[in-house]
Amino acid sequence: MPTFAKASTSAKATADKTVGKLPGVLAAFVVMLAGFWLADQIGHAILAAQGLTGSSPVSGVPVAIVLGLLLRNTLPLPASLAPGLKFATTTILRAGIVLVGIRLSLFDVLKLGIGGLPVVLAAIATGLLFVTWVNKKLGLPPRLGTLIAAGTSICGVTAIVSVAPAIEADEREVAYAVANVVAFGLFGMLFYPYLAHAVLGSSETIGLFLGTAVHDTSQVVGAALTYKQVYGDDVVLRVATVTKLTRNIFLAAVIPFLTWQHLRSTQSAVGAAKKKLSWQSLVPGFVIGFLAMAVMRSIGDATLGSRGAAFGIWDAAAWASITKQLGDYWASQVLLGTAMAAVGLNTNFAVFKGVGLKPFAVGMAGALAVGSVGMLMAVIFGRFVHL
């Protein structure tokens, strides 16, 4: 066959594959839009019930998953959606994880100071170790425990969707883990501000507690905003936000660690000879991209502070707009939201049979343990934090 004919055939095959993915991707995108709209309505209703105002504290990602699940299990979806849904849960998901890195700056760690780091590290260690242990005791799949541990200890839904491809988790495990952090994180968001005011002292201590005990970033901000509006304390909001961002930074270290654990346990389970694990196997390409974006954000923040313009180009307002658009809109909403909507559209309720409520027992135990450790450490180290 002539070269130009081969090229033409190859191009046509590529075009056909691309077109074949469009229905599934479009369906997931529409479900994502509906999920974020509904999350906004639910969030404002929750605030209104407390007599508060502000941005919705409910993340659209889990709502998109739930909508996808309901559609998948109540309507006869066409088979033509399958290629696009698979593309969304793999390629689009990884692209979203890469862009999430732009939200993380090493300067957030410096803002919190040496006094706040032990609180964050203790909360992360508690979540990772205790949740994994409880999950094993209840006989649940190790990957499910890993996802719940990551979501509980670091940054909720974002941690779950970032860790899932690294440990080869399936849709059922992702859906269960997301449901956990949403349920118990929402409980913390609604209850912890009032508990903290009743039992804790300084604003810094309360901010540290909220920033470590509540799971998802939007839930932490919601809890801190509730405290600010009810008790008129802006320091709590600032400390809680920086504490949560510091927790998020450690996602870059936790993904390779959990990947290493997964690979080691997989080798043991199949009785394979232990092979030396290379850094390429421990740090997938999307994690390298995630780290590169975090480094770029940190350099941009550093040059903004030293020169008055990020990379000598963008002023503070422009740089903030760029990072917000890439990290919050394109990464957290469009890409990750579409990917998680696809997870819902790809998951049959039948896969949940036989597991029951055990995953929620794991999630509750983890939430209580991380919250208790967060409160104790906040009491001890709160005096050393000043923002």
Tell me whether residue 106 is in a domain. yes
Tell me whether residue 55 is in a domain. no
34 beta partners: none
**Of 166, 168, 156, whose CA–CA distance to 124 is shortest?**
156
Angle, helices 171-199/358-381, rounded to nearest 10 degrees: 40
Q: How many domains does the chain have?
A: 1
Q: Which stretches within 117-233 are classed as H helix?
A: 117-137, 142-150, 156-163, 171-199, 203-213, 217-231
CB atoms inside a 10 Å sphere around CB 160: 31
**Of 296, 298, 317, 316, whose CA–CA distance to 307 is shortest?**
316
Model pLDDT, residue 37: 97
| One-letter identity of residue 299 | I
Model pLDDT, residue 86: 93
Tell me whether residue 129 is in a domain. yes
Model pLDDT, residue 255: 83
**Phi, psi torsion values for 201, nearest 5 degrees:** -100, -85
d(Cα 306, Cα 346) in Å, to the nearest integer? 48
For the segment 345-379, what is each residue's pLDDT rounded down to a tens digit? Answer: 988 887 777 677 899 999 999 999 999 999 999 99
Largest CA distance in the chain: 79
Model pLDDT, residue 213: 95
Tell me whether residue 69 is in a domain. yes
Question: Can you spell out the DSSP letters for 237-286?
Answer: HHHHHHHHHHHHHTHHHHHHHHHHHHHHHHHHHHTPPP-PPPHHHHS-HH
Which residues, given as ranges, of the chain have pLDDT below 50? 272-273
| One-letter identity of residue 169 | A
Tell me whether residue 53 is in a domain. no
What's the sign of the alpha-carbon dihedral 284, 286, 287, 292?
A: positive
Tell me whether residue 41 is in a domain. no
Q: Which domain holds residue 152?
A: 60-384
Give residue for tokens 């979540």: 127
Residue 166 structure tokens: 């690294």
- pTM confidence score: 0.85
For the segment 107-145, what is each residue's pLDDT rounded down to a tens digit? Answer: 877 878 777 899 999 999 999 999 999 999 999 999 999
List of residues 6+ apart from 352 with CB closer than 8 A = 172, 175, 176
Tell me whether residue 272 is in a domain. yes
d(Cα 42, Cα 186) in Å, to the nearest integer? 12
Tell me whether residue 107 is in a domain. yes
